Amino acid sequence: MDDLLTTQQLAWVLGRSTGTIRDLIKDGEIEASRIVSGYRIPKSEALRLAREEVEAETGGSISDARLERLIDEVIATNEAS
C-alpha cells in the first residue's frame, strides 16, 4: 500500500464515487492534502476509513496487516480492469 492514495483509489476501497470522496474531503470528514491534480489521502486515513467500514459491516475487528492486504487487492483489481 502506498503512503498516499488518490481519490479514485479511496473510492474503490470504500465503494463510493470519486465525487463523494471529494465532497467528504471538502466537508472535512476525510483528511487529505490538496495537490495540483486533485487530492492525496494519507495511508493512515485510508486505514481508518476502511476499518470503520469493515467493522460496521462485520461487527468484528481486523488487523492493520490484513486491512492493508485487502486495500491492496481492491486497488490492484480495479487498476487491472
Residue pair 27/19 in contact (Cβ under 8 Å)? The answer is: no
pLDDT of residue 34: 96
What fold, for 4-80? Multidrug-efflux Transporter Regulator; Chain: A; Domain 2 (1.10.1660)
8-65 pLDDT per residue, tens? 999 999 999 999 999 999 999 999 999 999 999 999 999 999 999 999 999 999 999 9
The predicted model scores a pTM of 0.91
pLDDT of residue 14: 96
Q: Distance from CA of residue 70 to its chain's centroid?
A: 11
Domain ranges of the chain: 4-80
Cell numbers that stand for 30 in this block: 476525510
Residue pair 3/43 in contact (Cβ under 8 Å)? The answer is: yes
pLDDT of residue 2: 81
Q: Distance from CA of residue 31 to its chain's centroid?
A: 11
* Residue 1 pLDDT greater than 80, yes or no: no
Phi and psi, residue 16, nearest 5°: -125, 170
pLDDT of residue 45: 97
Residue pair 73/12 in contact (Cβ under 8 Å)? The answer is: no
